[in-house]
Amino acid sequence: MPPKEQQLELQSPHRGWLASIAQIPRGGIAMALLLRVVLFSSVVTLILTVLQLTLSYRSERASLESRFGEIDQATSRSLGESLWAMDSKQLEEQLDGILRLPSIRAVEVRETPSPSPAFAIFRGERQTSAAVVKEFPLFCCGTHPQHIGVLRIEATLADIYRDLAAQAVVILLSNAAKTFLVAFFILFIVDHLATRHLLDIAASAASVTPGADLPPLRLRRLRVEGDELDQLVDALNAMRERLRQHAIELGNANARMAAILDNIPDLAWVKDANGRFIAVNRAVAAANGFAEPHDMIGKTDFDVHPPELARTYLRDDVEVMESHGRKRIEEPHVDADGSMRWIETIKTALHDGQGRVAGTVGIARDVTERRRAAETLRETQMELAHANRVATMGQLAASIAHEVNQPIAATVTHAQAGLRWLSAQPPEMEKVAEGLRRIVKDGNRAADVIGRIRELLRKTTPRNETLDINEAIREVIEITRGEAMKRGALVKTQLADGLPFIEGNRIELQQVLLNLVINAIEAISGASDGAREVLVSTGKADAGCVLVAVCDSGPGFSPESAERLFAPFYTTKSTGLGMGLSISRSIIEAHGGRLWASANPPRGAVFYFTVPVHPDFSS
Ligand code: ADP
């Protein structure tokens, strides 16, 4: 935190109030307030002025009326007498006296009823407009006065109107001056109390940049008021502090991520949804000829790689983003020196906090050594598997020899019989032909067995073919028949019809079957009582696989050794190597399947394996 006393330099240090007013923004709150105050005050002033003028008019009219009354009272008697006496001079003087009263413009005394010509005295000027005319009867004289004439008075309203106009001008001017002064005062006060601080707050908020170590905002006033503005400033300062902390944490997280990325020996990068690099480690920067990782930030594959390669990378990125998933690519790369390397790239969709795809994350590593090691391992496994097959066949040699011997012995018997039928008189050609057919059949049977043995003894290539698993099982059972008979076991099959073809290496899969069937026969031969049966069955398993089960009625195994059986060199046999199940499992797993064992209640063991269906036959 910066020291408290540090002030933020925001605007001009100090300005006079006139200068302050001049700098008030035209479209700001103070101006809007000013306009509204002026408008409201003008409307109120106008209404009050109209009210006041109406009242003044009424009172002026009332005083005019009362003046008429007073004139009537004060002069009607003496005017009546003067009229009776027809004293023109006296009447003129009296009428001039009335004429001097305010607003009276014309006065006339006329005799009634009017003889022609009527006696009348007129003083003043006749009014044409804005006038009030009043007539009063004149009486004379004695105890029974008679109506002898009329006093006619014409008063003008122009004076009242002039007074009212003057009044209106005074009211409006004084109110305008007051409004003007109040408005400026409001403008100044609002600016002083609020607007300038709001502008400071706005400037301070606008200057906030994540990570910048700015001093806290202080308003330009003498003390803390604790009012809404101070609350706003406190909130803004707290927000800035949180933002600063957040920026520090973000910086730390970025540094941690950069450190992690740099310590990854593989190439690691992150791209945004437009394919721009937003983070790369040193390995990526170095591989693309950049001195520092940040030199690569903001660039795309098109800035870094040849267009064809960049287009391929872009396609992969789009695919990964559209599927929201990941993609693994293993492909050869030819280096500048012509040497070939295998690169494994794993691209994963990058999601933002709302779960939307925001880009891709990529890791690429040189897997040339791993591939070489895997190839060597595969070769070693194949060698081992071959050795295992040879050993198994060696183990079966006696029973196979016996098995092959049978058709050969039968051939000899058929040949001897044929010779006899030939030397008979006449030779029995039909029987000779039958004997020859049997010789061909037995010869073929022996050749088949020998052919299959030769196949199994051959070294395999990692070539896959389309296979009928039932067919492969039948061939294996053929080979093991002699061994089963020798050990008093019966091998039965229950092969499902219409199984889809699988894709695999026939010799390797037959080796697995051979291991399982021989193990089952050997297990049974150790058992002293009960049925001595091996059942090989097939069926469909889930996930597009074919399931094979080899089930026996031997002694079985303890549940805890179920997994140990598959460990290399695990054997319970005196002459066993303990490699059969281990090799079988690696063969099945290399085919994308699974091999496992379980008990076969009430006694015996069952070994299962699955192999994926050939892609052309999977539904
Ligand atoms: P080996 O046959 O040389 O012993 P394997 O790997 O084929 O090697 O078998 C390992 C061990 O698994 C055998 O020694 C045996 O104890 C056990 N095993 C294999 N098949 C069966 C079975 N069908 N019943 C009971 N135990 C078995």
Atom 24 of ligand 1, residue of closest alpha carbon: 556
What dihedral do alpha carbons 378, 380, 385, 390 form, nearest 10°? 150
Candidate of 519, 564, 574 to mutate for ligand 1, largest count of ligand atoms within 8 Å of Cβ: 519
pLDDT of residue 619: 65
pLDDT in tens, 81-92: 888 888 889 999
Q: Buried b vs exposed e over 500-517: b needs ≥16 C-beta within 10 Å? A: bbbbbbbbbbbbbbbbbb
pLDDT of residue 448: 86
- Regarding whether 385 and 350 lie in a shared domain, the answer is no
Query: What value, to the nearest 5°, has the Cα angle with vertex 559 and ends 558 and 562?
Result: 95
- Regarding whether 498 and 525 lie in a shared domain, the answer is yes
Looking up residue 568, the CATH number of its domain turns out to be: 3.30.565.10
Banded pLDDT at 3 (limits 50, 70, 90): very low
Domain-located, residue 490: yes
pLDDT of residue 76: 87
* Domain count along the chain: 2
| Distance of CA 249 from the midpoint of ligand 1 (Å) | 59
pLDDT of residue 58: 93
Most confident range, picked from 129-143, 188-202, 501-515: 501-515
| Distance of CA 551 from the midpoint of ligand 1 (Å) | 13
Q: Which atom of ligand 1 is nearest to the CA of 516?
A: 20
Q: Where are the beta strands (DSSP E) in 141-254?
A: 146-156
Q: Which atom of ligand 1 is nearest to the CA of 552?
A: 23
Domain-located, residue 316: yes
- Regarding whether 457 and 569 lie in a shared domain, the answer is yes
- Regarding whether 383 and 359 lie in a shared domain, the answer is no
- Greater model confidence, 378 or 583: 583
Domain-located, residue 349: yes
- Regarding whether 433 and 350 lie in a shared domain, the answer is no
- What percent of the chain has pLDDT above 70? 94
- Regarding whether 350 and 454 lie in a shared domain, the answer is no
- Regarding whether 412 and 343 lie in a shared domain, the answer is no
| Distance of CA 448 from the midpoint of ligand 1 (Å) | 29
Domain-located, residue 115: no
Query: What value, to the nearest 5°, has the Cα angle with vertex 410 and ends 409 and 414?
Result: 120
- Regarding whether 359 and 493 lie in a shared domain, the answer is no
pLDDT of residue 377: 87
- What percent of the chain has pLDDT above 90? 43
Q: Name the residue type at position 361.
A: V
Out of 331, 366, 401, a domain closes at 366
- Regarding whether 445 and 594 lie in a shared domain, the answer is yes
pLDDT of residue 475: 92
| Distance of CA 522 from the midpoint of ligand 1 (Å) | 9
Specify the long-range contacts of residues 275-278, CB closer than 8 Å, at least 24 apart.
275/300, 275/301, 275/314, 275/317, 276/300, 278/359
Domain-located, residue 144: no
pLDDT in tens, 356-383: 999 999 999 999 999 999 889 888 888 8
Banded pLDDT at 116 (limits 50, 70, 90): low
Say whether 593 sits in a helix, a strand or coil: coil
- Greater model confidence, 12 or 283: 283
- Give the integer Cα–Cα distance in Å for 284 and 569: 45
Atom 16 of ligand 1, residue of closest alpha carbon: 572
Q: Which atom of ligand 1 is nearest to the CA of 566?
A: 6
- Greater model confidence, 581 or 448: 581
Q: Is pLDDT at 24 greater than 80 in this prediction? A: no
| Distance of CA 612 from the midpoint of ligand 1 (Å) | 25
Banded pLDDT at 15 (limits 50, 70, 90): low
pLDDT of residue 106: 92
Q: Is pLDDT at 9 greater than 50 in this prediction? A: no
pLDDT in tens, 383-436: 888 888 888 888 888 888 888 888 899 999 999 999 999 998 888 999 999 999
pLDDT of residue 117: 64
Task: Give whole-number Cα distances, 574 to 282, 358, 390, 561, in Å.
Answer: 58, 63, 19, 18
pLDDT in tens, 220-247: 888 777 888 889 999 988 988 888 889 8
Domain-located, residue 284: yes
Banded pLDDT at 8 (limits 50, 70, 90): very low
Domain-located, residue 470: yes
Spatial CB neighbours of 60, under 8 Å, sequence gap ≥ 6 = 160, 163, 164
Task: Average the pLDDT over each of 112-116, 126-130, 262-266, 560-564 and give the range with the smallest value.
Answer: 112-116
Tell me which residues have their CB closer than 6 angstroms to ligand 1: 515, 519-520, 523, 552, 554, 556-557, 565, 570-573, 576-582, 605
Q: Is pLDDT at 1 greater than 50 in this prediction? A: no
Banded pLDDT at 130 (limits 50, 70, 90): low
| Distance of CA 471 from the midpoint of ligand 1 (Å) | 25
Q: In whole angstroms, what separates CA 505 from the centre of its chain?
A: 47
Closest by alpha carbon to 399, among 472, 478, 506, 459? 478
pLDDT in tens, 604-615: 999 999 999 998
Banded pLDDT at 329 (limits 50, 70, 90): very high
- Greater model confidence, 74 or 334: 74
Q: How many residues does the chain have?
A: 619
Banded pLDDT at 20 (limits 50, 70, 90): low
Q: Is pLDDT at 519 greater than 90 in this prediction? A: yes
Question: Using an 8 Å Cβ cutoff, are 124 and 105 in contact?
Answer: yes
Q: Which atom of ligand 1 is nearest to the CA of 583?
A: 6
Candidate of 535, 571, 584, 607 to mutate for ligand 1, largest count of ligand atoms within 8 Å of Cβ: 571
Q: Which atom of ligand 1 is nearest to the CA of 579?
A: 6
pLDDT of residue 115: 61
pLDDT of residue 119: 85
| Distance of CA 457 from the midpoint of ligand 1 (Å) | 22
Q: Is pLDDT at 4 greater than 50 in this prediction? A: no
| Distance of CA 449 from the midpoint of ligand 1 (Å) | 26
pLDDT in tens, 53-64: 999 999 988 998
pLDDT of residue 327: 94
> pLDDT averaged over the chain?
87
| Distance of CA 537 from the midpoint of ligand 1 (Å) | 19
Domain-located, residue 445: yes
pLDDT of residue 43: 92
Q: Which atom of ligand 1 is nearest to the CA of 572?
A: 14
- Regarding whether 325 and 381 lie in a shared domain, the answer is no
Out of 344, 366, 388, a domain closes at 366
Task: Average the pLDDT over each of 7-21, 34-48, 138-152, 192-206 and give the range with the smallest value.
Answer: 7-21
pLDDT of residue 456: 82
Q: What is the mean pLDDT of residues 552-568?
A: 90
Q: Buried b vs exposed e over 81-117: b needs ≥16 C-beta within 10 Å? A: bbbbeeeeebbbebbeebeeeebbbbbbbbbeeeeee
Atom 1 of ligand 1, residue of closest alpha carbon: 578
- Regarding whether 427 and 343 lie in a shared domain, the answer is no
Q: Are strands 490-494 and 277-280 parallel, antiparallel or unpaired?
A: unpaired
Task: Work out whether the CA dihedral 606, 609, 613, 614 comes out positive or negative.
Answer: negative
| Distance of CA 517 from the midpoint of ligand 1 (Å) | 11
Looking up residue 355, the CATH number of its domain turns out to be: 3.30.450.20
Candidate of 491, 565, 566, 574 to mutate for ligand 1, largest count of ligand atoms within 8 Å of Cβ: 565
- Regarding whether 538 and 595 lie in a shared domain, the answer is yes
Residue numbers of the domain that contains 297: 264-366
| Distance of CA 573 from the midpoint of ligand 1 (Å) | 8
Tokens matching residue 592:
């994308």
Out of 366, 388, 410, a domain closes at 366
**539 bridge partner residues:** 547
Q: Which atom of ligand 1 is nearest to the CA of 578?
A: 8
Q: What is the mean pLDDT of residues 320-345?
A: 87
Q: Which atom of ligand 1 is nearest to the CA of 520?
A: 23
Q: What is the mean pLDDT of residues 249-267?
A: 88
Q: Which atom of ligand 1 is nearest to the CA of 550?
A: 23
| Distance of CA 559 from the midpoint of ligand 1 (Å) | 14
Q: Which atom of ligand 1 is nearest to the CA of 519?
A: 20
pLDDT of residue 153: 92
